């Protein structure tokens, strides 16, 4: 059963062009906003947090929270960067937001608490997977709301962010819209349940990740209706294989990305080799290199919408 929910419009960019105003703290004028005087109790992974009104100076500490805030019409005043780049993921600019408007506050692995405090946020969003050890310090800076998990739970996380931001209805609308569009994209592939889709990601020269059903991309593919190769039918986020085991990445369709410069180097080396070339999906032209930011870093409705954009564009070539 397809349980996901859709991004409105033909593209994620189209959604944001209509729904998002650029600039730090700007919000979606059509989304509901909590009255300034309202204080609500938000239950989350670390307990309960009192959030007043409609937060405008929001700091996000993971890419999923960044995605969710932007989709809900809020441009954060600060965000962490990934460990492999000083730049924000590409989906930020694709959402019509100038990355320069979002101050750097450290990395996902090491948030800069002083930089966060200097921005005087009225809300901090993250998750317990990344930052449980610094929750207490963050909560002393501003009201802090943590999702319990990341990846597969992106829909629940969006609803939590919507509650914290006072935009619950907008969050639900985004999910309902995603569900409809995921089904539409699936229909482009005939009966997608008859197509096993494999997803590989190169990290370095020693590790290749094959993403399971328990991942963000796995959940999006499930909502479209695709089947998965046996090795990837797991509740785990991914299984790891060595370059010598890369033939295990085969599927009816094979999508592959690369994380950072090391991942790109590894991808170049492995995909030029005889083992990769022997994979049937590769040999028969059913393997596609995808943008890592779009497929693996969004972890929210913007990323999900961009994946649907790619699947829709590729359908004439890959369907059937």
Domain-located, residue 304: yes
**CATH code at position 274:** 3.40.50.1980
Same domain, 35 and 134: yes
Q: And the tokens for 86?
A: 């000083």
Instruction: Kindly report, residue by residue over 253-272, the tens digit of the pLDDT.
Output: 999 999 999 999 999 999 99
Same domain, 167 and 195: no
Residue 152: exposed, middle, or buried by beta-carbon count in 10 A (0-12, 13-18, 19+)?
Answer: buried
Tell me what percent of the residues of the chain surpass a pLDDT of 90. 84
Average pLDDT over residues 139-153: 96
* Separation of alpha carbons 297 and 15, rounded Å: 19
* Separation of alpha carbons 109 and 125, rounded Å: 15
Instruction: Kindly report, residue by residue over 293-312, the tens digit of the pLDDT.
Output: 999 988 999 999 999 999 99
Decide which of 123 and 3 is more confident.
Answer: 123
- Is the distance from CB of 167 to CB of 294 less than 8 angstroms? no
Same domain, 258 and 130: no
Same domain, 156 and 21: yes
Q: And the tokens for 134?
A: 């610094």
Same domain, 212 and 171: no
SS3 238: strand
Average pLDDT over residues 75-85: 94
Same domain, 134 and 153: yes
Same domain, 164 and 193: no
Orientation angle between helical segments 154-165 and 63-71, nearest 10 degrees? 60
* Separation of alpha carbons 79 and 203, rounded Å: 23
Same domain, 164 and 202: no
Same domain, 166 and 248: no
Same domain, 19 and 103: yes
* Separation of alpha carbons 243 and 198, rounded Å: 16
Domain-located, residue 1: no
* Separation of alpha carbons 42 and 143, rounded Å: 10
Average pLDDT over residues 267-291: 97
For residue 205, what pLDDT band results from cuts at 50, 70 and 90?
confident
Domain residues for 216? 185-318
Selection from 1-5, 198-202, 205-209 with the highest mean pLDDT:
198-202
Domain-located, residue 5: no
- Is the distance from CB of 293 to CB of 89 less than 8 angstroms? yes
Instruction: Kindly report, residue by residue over 230-245, the tens digit of the pLDDT.
Output: 999 999 999 999 999 9
Smallest Cα–Cα separation from 192: which of 223, 219, 215? 223
Domain-located, residue 314: yes
What is the count of structural domains for the chain?
A: 2
What is the per-residue pLDDT for 83? 87
For residue 229, what pLDDT band results from cuts at 50, 70 and 90?
very high
Instruction: Kindly report, residue by residue over 8-56, the tens digit of the pLDDT.
Output: 333 444 443 333 333 334 444 344 555 555 899 999 999 999 999 999 9
Domain-located, residue 217: yes
- Is the distance from CB of 213 to CB of 234 less than 8 angstroms? yes
């Amino acid at each position: 059963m397809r349980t996901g929910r859709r991004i409105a419009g033909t593209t994620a960019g189209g959604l944001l062009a209509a729904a998002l105003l650029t600039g730090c703290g700007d919000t979606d004028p059509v989304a509901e906003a909590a009255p300034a005087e309202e204080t609500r109790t938000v239950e989350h992974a670390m307990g309960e947090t009192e959030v007043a009104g409609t937060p405008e100076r929001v700091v996000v500490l993971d890419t999923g929270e960044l995605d969710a805030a932007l989709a809900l019409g809020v441009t954060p005043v600060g965000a962490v960067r990934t460990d492999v780049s000083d730049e924000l993921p590409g989906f930020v600019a694709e959402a019509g937001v100038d990355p320069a408007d979002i101050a750097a506050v450290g990395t996902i692995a090491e948030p800069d608490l002083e930089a966060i405090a200097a921005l005087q946020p009225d809300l901090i969003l993250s998750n317990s997977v990344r930052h449980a050890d610094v929750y207490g310090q963050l909560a002393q800076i501003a009201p802090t709301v943590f999702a319990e998990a990341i990846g597969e739970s992106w829909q629940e996380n969006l609803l939590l962010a919507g509650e914290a931001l006072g935009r619950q209805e907008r969050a639900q609308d985004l999910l309902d819209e995603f569900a409809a569009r995921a089904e539409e994209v699936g229909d482009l592939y005939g009966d997608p349940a008859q197509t096993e889709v494999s997803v590989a990601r190169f990290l370095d020269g020693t590790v290749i990740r094959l993403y399971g059903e328990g991942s963000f991309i796995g959940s999006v593919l499930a909502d479209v209706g695709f089947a998965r190769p046996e090795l990837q039918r797991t509740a785990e986020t991914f299984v790891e294989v060595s370059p010598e085991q890369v033939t295990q990445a085969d599927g009816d369709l094979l999508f592959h990305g690369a994380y950072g410069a090391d991942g790109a180097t590894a991808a170049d080396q492995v995909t030029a080799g005889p083992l990769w070339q022997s994979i049937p999906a590769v040999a028969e032209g059913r393997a596609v290199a995808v943008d890592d930011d779009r497929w693996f870093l969004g972890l929210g409705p913007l990323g999900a919408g961009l994946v649907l954009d790619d699947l829709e564009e590729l359908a004439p070539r890959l369907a059937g």
